[in-house]
Amino acid sequence: MSTQQAHPTLLIPGPIEFDDAVLQSMSHYSSLRRNSLYAAQALPIYLFHFLTPQPGDEVLVLHTGYFADSFADCFETYGVKPTQLKVKIGERPLLDEIEKALKEKKYKLITVTHVDTSTGVLSELKKLSELVHRVSPETLVVVDGVCSVGCEEIEFDSWGLDAVITASQKAIGCPAGLSISYYSGRAIESFKARKTPPGSYFASFKNWLPIMQNYEAKKPSYFATPSPQLIHALHTSLTQILSIPLSERFAKHKATSQKIKKAVADLGLKQLAPNPADQANGMTAIYLPEGVKAAELLPNLVKKGVIFAGGLHKEIATKYVRVGHMGVSVMDEGRGDVEKAIEALGTGLKEVGYEKA
Amino acid sequence: MSTQQAHPTLLIPGPIEFDDAVLQSMSHYSSLRRNSLYAAQALPIYLFHFLTPQPGDEVLVLHTGYFADSFADCFETYGVKPTQLKVKIGERPLLDEIEKALKEKKYKLITVTHVDTSTGVLSELKKLSELVHRVSPETLVVVDGVCSVGCEEIEFDSWGLDAVITASQKAIGCPAGLSISYYSGRAIESFKARKTPPGSYFASFKNWLPIMQNYEAKKPSYFATPSPQLIHALHTSLTQILSIPLSERFAKHKATSQKIKKAVADLGLKQLAPNPADQANGMTAIYLPEGVKAAELLPNLVKKGVIFAGGLHKEIATKYVRVGHMGVSVMDEGRGDVEKAIEALGTGLKEVGYEKA
């Protein structure tokens, strides 16, 4: 039985609903025996950002919504020159356009938002990475996996990815506060080969690599204080995730996503991403029908016990809403979160005056 | 009764032992009604770093241990030029020396580590700030309060401080993961007047000021995802802290510190900080007696159920140990943490062969 107080079901694209066991792990005392926690994980998990490019470097940013603009802003802050490949809202750059761009200029790295939380657009990583390795083999492939790691298929090594940057609070199912990243050997080499010092103090390989190396060598060392509680909760959620084959987890997210997307279509509503192949499996971004305001619909849904998110893409923020379907809300069917969401959306729309044409 | 599993008492200078109610707050579901949490606080609490100086700016760093070196490293990463005022280990720069330094050059800001966790040295803020305002009124007074906020007296406004930067996991008594900072109006103005764009993306007023302004205006806005669980736990611990006069809290930390320091002296041991006025009230750094190794003593103490920290100051790291006495270990006498620490230190030293001369 849940020890959590009754509360409206949080169905936004992160933070998500968390499993009881994970939340209870948060209330663990501070343990300094972090080694045992780390060692229990099969995956290399390191907690910092990726800042390989040097000032003046050119990078190619594939734009599928808000988070590409964030990537570009971030690069500009550090003197790196982003070129954005933009498309219409709900679409993603085509491989042909990307190939053309890669041939026009030498890019230090290319970034792709695997799932853009602002639009629900899913990018295709495998073919993209093949293309980059073929056309511009020195360009690093950097993936924003914030809304995809844990609910979308990613094969880091076999797809030849160089960096996947994610966070704890979405499909990984651990409360917000951890930045979790994966890097290829050549990404690390690229960092080591840089000629200018890193432009960030905290989010820097320079300060964290020695800590990781000492960790591997079982030597104590210090740069900054981690959060034992968050790491404890992460350990619990990763243990749960790895308790069944990942393929099952991804299939379940896909099936649940299909169910929600069918309900949306049955209501006569359209998604931001019109092409099924470009639709995320952990969230759905839905255009509101003519005359329905998010400011009316969302509070109505809260009264029914479910929380959806408003729009985030600047140009159309008031015209759509977003539903998250990741983690326990998908994997623990007994909670009934998804049915509750579908039911609430249908009756909620009716109550604010919408009738299917 | 505590719901925490039995565990060795963590008596290091942070992270510290946490109150049950605070830890239980961590296992709270993600609530988006953060407004109610914030609004309950009397203090303006904003979660980011301070990066006012521009590349080329000169800053004066008062050195009392490891964390001044960190401050200097951090400034250099962003192109700012630190001048360190160094002293012997266990001491702090005298006001006369600081006055001389301030008269020699124009500094954009001066930094002081209120309590340096590596040495247990307490700096005097009130007279320091008076001096800076008198001699170099345009210089901003920036305080590293990581090991002092919540256990040492600080009067932000009346002492004329411009920034106090702290973290959640020490005397504030909330698990690690929040950076909590206070800024004066003139610090904000100084940021706004800068001519070069800020050198950091995440830790930047440029990205957070609009969020804070929208928050005050009750308008939704987004830059990055905060951790509702940590903020919930912070709310619980601040509510506890503010449930009695702060003066009582500080007096209790002082009295407990005196008790520990007397026990240390009674054992014939010396502190890194020889001058009582320079000794922190939330931690004690103790030189090991000749022939006693930290690598022997610390595991022996763990067997007795208490965890002390080893040395952190590079030059003498193996020659001393550190005891933290902050938060619930001090305020909740029923736990007996302090007596346990004193008892364990005495018998532990005997068991590794030390006898008082």
User: How far apart are the C-alpha atoms of A135 and B151, rounded to whole Å?
Assistant: 59
Closest in B198, B201, B222 to A312, CB measured: B222
Euclidean distance between CA atoms A145 and A133, whole angstroms: 20
Do residue A31 and residue B7 have CB atoms under 8 angstroms apart? yes
Q: Is the pLDDT of residue A124 over 60?
A: yes
Hey, are the CB atoms on A27 and B23 less than 8 Å from each other? Answer: yes
Cβ contacts below 8 Å, chain A against chain B, sum to 133
Q: Report the DSSP pairing between strands B163-167 and B140-144.
A: parallel
Q: Which CATH number fits domain A9-20+247-352: 3.30.360.10, 3.40.50.620, 3.90.1150.10, 3.40.50.800?
A: 3.90.1150.10
B115, B125, B286, B288 from B154: Cα distances, Å:
12, 8, 25, 31
Which residue from A14, A78, A229 is facing B225, i.e. has the nearest CB? A14
Q: Does the structure show a pLDDT above 60 at A150?
A: yes
Is A120 within 8 Å of A272 (Cβ atoms)? yes
pLDDT tens digits, B201-220: 877 888 888 888 888 887 87
Say if the Cβ atoms of A15 and B176 lie within 8 Å. Answer: no
Q: What are phi and psi of B150, to 5 degrees?
A: 105, -15
Residue A294 to chain B, least CA–CA distance (Å): 13
Q: Which two tokens stand for residue B302?
A: 């763990």
Angle between helix A337-351 and helix A246-266 axes, rounded to 10 deg: 20
Cα–Cα distances (Å) from A311 to A314, A318, B140, in that order, read 8, 6, 40
Mutation test of the interface with chain A: which of B76, B201, B218, choosing the one with the most A Cβ atoms within 10 A?
A: B201
Q: d(Cα A153, Cα A181) in Å, to the nearest integer?
A: 16
Between CA B121 and CA B86 the distance in angstroms is 13
Higher pLDDT, A265 or A202: A265
pLDDT for B169 equals 86
* Contact check, Cβ <8 Å, B77/A177: no
Positive or negative CA dihedral for B84, B85, B90, B92? Answer: negative
Chain B residue with minimum CA distance to A7 = B29
pLDDT at site B40: 27
At residue B309, the 3 state secondary structure works out as strand
Q: Which ranges of B244-336 does DSSP label H, i.e. alpha helix?
A: 246-266, 294-303, 328-331
Nearest neighbour of A227 by CB, restricted to B32, B176, B307: B176
Residue A198 has pLDDT above 50, yes or no: yes
pLDDT value at A19 more than 90: no
What kind and span of H or E run contains A216? helix A205-216
The tokens for A153 are 């298929």
pLDDT beyond 90 at A208: no
Mutation test of the interface with chain B: which of A47, A77, A172, choosing the one with the most B Cβ atoms within 10 A?
A77
Percent of the residues in chain A that have a pLDDT greater than 70, as a whole number: 92
Mean pLDDT of chain B: 88
| Residue B322 counted as an annotated binding residue | yes
Instruction: For residues A209 and B79, give the distance between their C-alpha atoms in angstroms, rounded to a whole number.
Output: 22
Of residues A190 and A349, more confidently modeled:
A349
Phi-psi region of A166 (alpha: psi -120 to 50; beta: other; left: phi over 0): beta
Q: Residue A89 pLDDT > 60, yes or no?
A: yes
pLDDT in tens, B15-34: 778 888 888 877 877 654 44
Shortest alpha-carbon distance between residue B303 and chain A (Å): 14
Locate B357 and state its tokens.
Answer: 């001369």
Distances in whole angstroms, Cα of residue B65 to Cα of each of A246, B69, B162? 48, 7, 22
In chain B, % helix, strand, coil (3-state, to 5) comes to: 40, 15, 45
Least-confidence region, from A6-10, A36-40, A239-243, A347-351? A36-40
**Amino acid letter for position B347:** T
User: Given this model, what pLDDT does residue B50 score?
Assistant: 55
Instruction: With CB atoms and an 8 Å threshold, state whether B229 touches A26.
Output: yes
**E strand or H helix that includes residue A228:** helix A228-241
pLDDT digit string (tens) for B306-357?
A: 999 999 998 999 999 999 999 999 999 998 999 999 999 999 999 999 988 7
Joined together, the tokens standing for residue A236 give 């619990």
Higher pLDDT, A59 or B223: A59
Q: Does the fold of domain A41-236 match that of domain A9-20+247-352?
A: no
What are the residues whose beta carbons fall under 8 Å from the beta carbon of B326, sequence distance 6 or more? B13, B14, B16, B147, B150, B151, B170, B171, B173, B253, B282, B283
What is the edge-to-edge ordering of all strands in the sheet holding B309-310?
B283-287, B320-324, B309-310
Cβ-based contacts of A28 with chain B (< 8 Å): 4-5, 23
Q: Identify whether the C-beta of residue B330 lies closer than 8 Å to the C-beta of residue B341.
A: no
CB contact under 8 A, B176 and A226: yes
CA distances to A202, A224, B203 from B15, rounded to whole Å, are: 19, 11, 22
Query: Cβ–Cβ of B175/A30 closer than 8 Å?
Result: yes
Residue B225 has a pLDDT of: 77
Asked if residue B224 has pLDDT above 80, the reply is no
Contact predicate A342/A286, CB 8 Å? no
**A324, A288 contact by CB (below 8 A):** no
ipTM attached to this prediction: 0.86
Q: B74 and A201: CB-CB below 8 Å?
A: yes
- Residue numbers in A near B228 (CB within 8 A): 15, 175-176
Domain residue extents for chain B: 9-20+247-352, 41-236
The enclosing H or E element of A61 equals strand A58-62
Please, which pLDDT band fits residue A323 given cuts at 50, 70 and 90? very high
Q: What is the pLDDT of residue A320?
A: 97
Measured in angstroms, the CA of B349 and the nearest CA of chain A are apart by: 22
**pLDDT tens, position by position, A129-139:** 999 999 999 99
Are B77 and A176 an interchain contact pair (Cβ–Cβ within 8 Å)?
A: no
Confidence of residue B105 (pLDDT cuts 50, 70, 90): very high
Q: What is the mean pLDDT of residues A9-15?
A: 78
Name the E strands within B57-171.
58-62, 81-85, 109-113, 115-116, 121-122, 140-144, 163-167
pLDDT tens column, B228-273? 788 888 888 888 999 999 999 999 999 999 999 999 999 999 999 9
In this predicted structure, the answer to whether residue A306 has a pLDDT above a threshold of 50 is yes
Mutation target vs A (from B16, B23, B24, B26; most A CBs, 10 A cutoff): B26
Is B14 in contact with A225 (Cβ distance < 8 A)? yes
Q: Are strands A179-183 and A163-167 parallel, antiparallel or unpaired?
A: antiparallel
> Which residues pair with residue A324 across a beta bridge?
A283
For an interface test with A, the pick among B225, B298, B313, B318 (most A C-beta atoms closer than 10 Å) comes out as: B225
Q: How far is B192 from chain A (nearest CA, A)?
A: 16
Q: Whole-angstrom Cα distance, residue B343 to residue B260? A: 10
Which run of H or of E encompasses A98? helix A95-104
Arithmetic mean of pLDDT, A301-311: 92
Given this model, what pLDDT does residue A86 score? 96
User: pTM of this prediction?
Assistant: 0.89
Residues of A in contact with B196 (CB under 8 A): none
Token pair for A169:
């609070």
- Optimal mutation site among B10, B16, B20, B29, interface A, most CBs of chain A within 10 A: B29
pLDDT band at A33 (very low <50, low <70, confident <90, very high): very low
Of B197, B230, B310, the CB nearest to A177: B230
Please write the tens of the pLDDT for every residue from B313-324: 989 999 999 999
d(CA B108, CA B145): 19
How confident is the model over A292-296, as a mean pLDDT? 95
The number of helices, as runs of H, and strands, as runs of E, in chain B is 12, 13
Q: Indicate the pLDDT class of residue A31, thresholds 50, 70 and 90.
A: low
A273-296 mean pLDDT: 96
| Burial of B304 per CB tally in 10 Å (0-12, 13-18, 19+) | middle
What backbone phi and psi angles, to 5 degrees, belong to A187? -65, -45
Longest CA span, chain A = 67
B182 phi and psi angles, rounded to 5 deg: -125, 140
| Per-state percent for chain A, helix, strand, coil, to nearest 5 | 40, 15, 45
Dihedrals phi, psi of B308, to nearest 5 degrees: -100, 165
Q: How far is A145 from chain B (nearest CA, A)?
A: 15
What percent of chain A clears pLDDT 90, i.e. is strictly above it? 61
pLDDT at position A329 over 70 = yes
By Cβ distance, the residue of A74, A176, A225 closest to B226 is A176
Domain A41-236 in CATH 3.40.50.1000? The answer is no
A73 with B226: Cβ contact below 8 A = no
- A2-6, A62-66, B18-22, B311-315: range with highest mean pLDDT: A62-66
Which tops the pLDDT comparison, A21 or A183?
A183
- Name beta bridge partners: A111: A61, A142
pLDDT higher than threshold 80 for residue A262: yes
Q: Which residues contact A161 (CB under 8 A, 6 or more apart)?
A: A125, A129, A141, A143, A154, A182, A184
> Under an 8 A CB cutoff, do B27 and A14 touch?
no
Greatest extent of chain B over all pairs of C-alpha atoms, in Å: 67
**pLDDT of res. A3:** 56
- Between CA B144 and CA B148, with CA B146 as vertex, the angle to 5 degrees is 95
Question: Which residues of chain A neighbour B67 with C-beta distances below 8 Å?
Answer: none
